[in-house]
């Protein structure tokens, strides 16, 4: 009888020790908020709201916002790492790992909140009130700028400070610090100018700007978006050109003719399902761009799997570093090849033919001259203003899908969305209500990629090479991630 009681006592103690060894040992399971209730998830939601607001203020700039989101979650990760058994920060230096007794949920929440708050203020200053109100809701003092490395407030502030200073001069020209920029943020310091103008296409194989409506009855041709982004220093990749693909189809080749023919044919036969897919992946009003779109997908996983704060810190960190580095790698290819988009190529190849295409918001599908063809897109954003090869949507989607597959250990996703076909593009020609199902991460990325062909923004080579590039990025950054987390 005594031996039985001793064994039971030993078992209780043993199980308690095991429970205390996990990375989430700072709080009992019932006290550890899960899914959308954990604080990392909530800060991600705030970051997405700020990204959507940034799009409204500055128009889509997916490269820029991918950097913002990545650095916000690197800062959060670095602050959290001090309270973990194995994690190694990326930019945080000279701050010791806190003792086991201090690795509580409360201290982690304080540290990541100050890290998030300071980086959000830096990159989305126009939304400072949003961030400050959230800090006050959490019962935290937003004016506390302590850099005491022994306190969670100081750890969070230091993490943000060191991320921000470490990334100054990283090639993004965020502060206009590159030579010749005259302190103008995101100034084109490379001197890149397109070979073709919006009015004259002198080299069919090179990118040509196109005219957009300004929404007020006028027209303008946007300049190339961040043509220097291939010079931004990656976080997890060795270099921007590490996985640069081979060249796109040659001008005049049968391969190119067939791929352009495909773009024209699929657009002329768009189903309501395909229209809805194009619009959803284009990420319309209140857009958070591609990095934000995949952060939302990561949040779907968090809700589905009831993630803890620790799990979301690590998943968002990996997910967003992958997105940022995929954009850098995609821009390396775009600027190296400076390749034409279907918008211009269709005009040349189908110049003397009558084809069926999309005539605009008030027209719908109609017969037109090949020189009048355009993507299935609103006049205020007819086509992405930068070279085509490879597709940024495909690269980032391929990267983030592979990242979620690797991180979760499964390709299963299970998300679905419902929307009305045409609502974001042709409100006078609304289609049916459509349900888009995303059974796996891989299929979701492939749907994102093919949507760009369906919409007329890209040929298949842009898409397929982009997906492959993204997957290569994710696998390379996976090695970086494991080295930092010890997982």
Q: Are 79 and 112 in contact (CB under 8 A)?
A: yes
Residue 353 CB neighbour total at 10 angstroms: 13
DSSP annotation of 30 reads: G
Task: Give the Cα-Cα-Cα angle 229, 388, 461 (nearest 5 degrees).
Answer: 125
* Look-up of token digits 């009015």: 199
Confidence (pLDDT) at 285: 57
In 75-138, where do the E strands start and end? none
Enumerate residues 6+ apart whose C-beta is below 8 A from 109.
39, 138, 309
| pLDDT value for 397 | 98
Q: What angle do CA 22, 482, 478 make, to 5 degrees?
A: 135
User: CB–CB of 399/322 below 8 Å?
Assistant: yes
* Burial annotation 117-147 (CB, 10 A radius, 16+ → b, else e): bbbbbbbbeebeeebbebbeebebebeeeee
β-pairing verdict for 412-420 and 354-358: unpaired
Helices (H), 138-220: 152-166
Instruction: Map out the domains of the chain with their CATH numbers.
Output: 31-166 (1.20.144.10), 212-485 (1.10.606.20)
The first and second tokens of residue 234, run together, are: 């990656």
| Count of other CB atoms within 10 angstroms of residue 263 | 25
Res 28: pLDDT? 42
Buried b (16+ CB within 10 A) or exposed e, 433-464: ebebebebbbebbbbbbbbbbbbbbbbbbbbb
- What was the pLDDT predicted at 31? 76
Its pTM stands at: 0.93
Contact status, residue 419 vs residue 256, Cβ threshold 8 Å: no
pLDDT (tens place) for every residue of the chain, 487 residues total: 334 433 343 333 333 333 333 333 333 444 799 999 999 999 999 999 999 999 999 989 999 999 999 999 999 999 999 999 999 999 999 999 999 999 999 999 999 999 999 999 999 999 999 999 999 999 999 999 999 999 999 999 999 999 999 999 999 999 999 999 999 999 999 999 999 999 999 999 999 999 999 889 899 999 999 999 999 999 999 999 999 999 999 999 999 999 999 999 999 999 999 999 999 999 865 689 999 999 999 999 999 999 999 999 999 999 999 999 999 999 999 999 999 999 999 999 999 899 999 999 889 999 999 999 999 999 998 999 999 999 999 999 999 999 999 999 999 999 999 999 999 999 989 999 999 999 999 999 999 999 999 999 999 999 999 999 999 999 999 999 999 999 8
């Amino acid at each position: 009888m005594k031996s039985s009681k001793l064994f039971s006592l030993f078992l209780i103690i043993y199980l308690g020790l095991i429970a205390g060894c996990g990375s989430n040992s700072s709080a009992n399971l019932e006290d550890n908020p899960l899914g959308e209730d954990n604080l990392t998830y909530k800060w991600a939601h705030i970051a997405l709201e700020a990204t959507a607001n940034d799009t409204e203020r500055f128009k889509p700039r997916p490269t820029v916002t991918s950097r913002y989101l990545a650095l916000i979650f690197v800062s959060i990760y670095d602050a959290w790492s001090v309270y973990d058994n194995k994690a190694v920060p990326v930019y945080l230096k000279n701050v010791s790992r806190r003792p086991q007794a201090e690795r509580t949920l409360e201290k982690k929440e304080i540290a990541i909140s100050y890290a998030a708050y300071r980086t959000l203020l830096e990159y989305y200053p126009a939304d400072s009130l949003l961030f400050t109100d959230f800090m006050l809701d959490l019962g935290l003092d937003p004016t506390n700028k302590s850099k005491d490395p022994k306190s969670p407030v100081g750890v969070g502030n230091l993490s943000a400070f060191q991320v921000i200073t470490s990334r100054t001069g990283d090639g993004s020209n965020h502060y206009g610090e590159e030579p010749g920029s005259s302190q103008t943020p995101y100034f084109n310091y490379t001197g890149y100018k397109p070979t073709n103008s919006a009015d004259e296409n002198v080299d069919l194989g090179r990118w040509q700007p196109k005219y957009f409506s300004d929404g007020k009855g006028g027209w303008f041709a946007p300049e190339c978006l961040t043509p220097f982004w291939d010079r931004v220093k990656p976080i997890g990749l060795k270099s921007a050109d590490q996985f640069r693909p081979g060249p796109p189809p040659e001008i005049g080749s049968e391969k190119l003719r067939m791929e352009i023919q495909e773009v024209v044919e699929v657009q002329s036969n768009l189903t309501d399902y395909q229209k809805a897919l194009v619009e959803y992946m284009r990420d319309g009003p209140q857009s958070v761009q591609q990095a934000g779109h995949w952060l939302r997908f990561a949040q779907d996983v968090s809700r589905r799997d009831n993630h803890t704060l620790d799990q979301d810190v690590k998943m968002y960190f990996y997910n967003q570093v992958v997105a940022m580095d995929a954009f850098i790698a995609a821009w390396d290819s775009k600027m190296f090849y400076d390749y034409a988009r279907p918008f211009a190529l269709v005009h040349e190849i189908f110049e003397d033919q009558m084809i069926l295409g999309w005539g605009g918001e008030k027209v719908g599908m109609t017969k037109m001259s090949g020189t009048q063809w355009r993507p299935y897109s609103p006049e205020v954003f007819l086509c992405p203003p930068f070279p085509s090869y490879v597709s940024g949507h495909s690269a980032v989607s391929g990267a983030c899908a592979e990242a979620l597959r690797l991180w979760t250990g499964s390709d299963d996703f299970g998300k679905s969305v419902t929307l009305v076909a045409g609502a974001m593009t042709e409100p006078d020609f609304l289609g049916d209500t459509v349900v888009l199902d995303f059974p796996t991460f891989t299929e979701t990325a492939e749907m994102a990629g093919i949507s760009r062909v369906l919409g007329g923004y890209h040929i298949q080579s842009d898409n397929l090479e982009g997906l492959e590039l993204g997957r290569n990025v994710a696998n390379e950054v996976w090695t970086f991630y494991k080295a930092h987390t010890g997982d």
